[in-house]
Amino acid sequence: MDINLPDFHREDHQLHFIGGAVITAGSTVIVDLINPDAPRIVRILVPLMADALISGAKEVYDYQHPGRHTCETGDFLAGMVGGFSVTIFTWTG
């Protein structure tokens, strides 16, 4: 299995980055609504786990439908980089 790093010149990887950022930001808001006093580590790890789960599920879907989709590690990693970019603000906030 080849590990392809994200190429952010590709629109596909840019969209995965944005998707990961939106998933993580949305999950952070949900965690804050459920428990405003949640420890910082929970506010960071739960949204990242949601990002990993959804990004991974998307790539599994792509793998199972090769006619119209391609499963790429670069897609998953681009989504995770988007999520990490959001957690930087959560960590410092």
> Do 38 and 81 meet the contact criterion of CB atoms below 8 Å apart?
no
User: What's the pLDDT at 6?
Assistant: 81
The answer to the question of residue 6 being in a domain is no
Predicted confidence band of residue 2 (pLDDT cuts 50, 70, 90): low
Summarize pLDDT for 69-93 with one digit per residue, the tens.
888 899 999 999 999 999 988 776 5
Residue that wins the pLDDT comparison between 29 and 2: 29
- Using the CB atoms, write b or e for 15-54: b if 16+ within 10 Å: ebbebbbebbbebbeebeeeeeeeeeeebbebbbebbbeb
Provide the total of helices (H) and of strands (E) in the chain, helices listed first: 3, 0
Range of the domain at 37: 11-92
pLDDT at 10 over 80: yes
Is residue 3 domain-resident?
A: no
In this prediction, residues 60-72 reach a mean pLDDT of: 90
Number of folded domains in the chain? 1
User: Is the per-residue pLDDT at 1 higher than 60?
Assistant: no
Residue 1 inside a domain? The answer is no
Tell which residue, 26, 1, 13, 30, has the closest CA to residue 86. Answer: 26
- pLDDT of 35 reads 96
Quote the pTM value: 0.88
What is the per-residue pLDDT for 57? 96
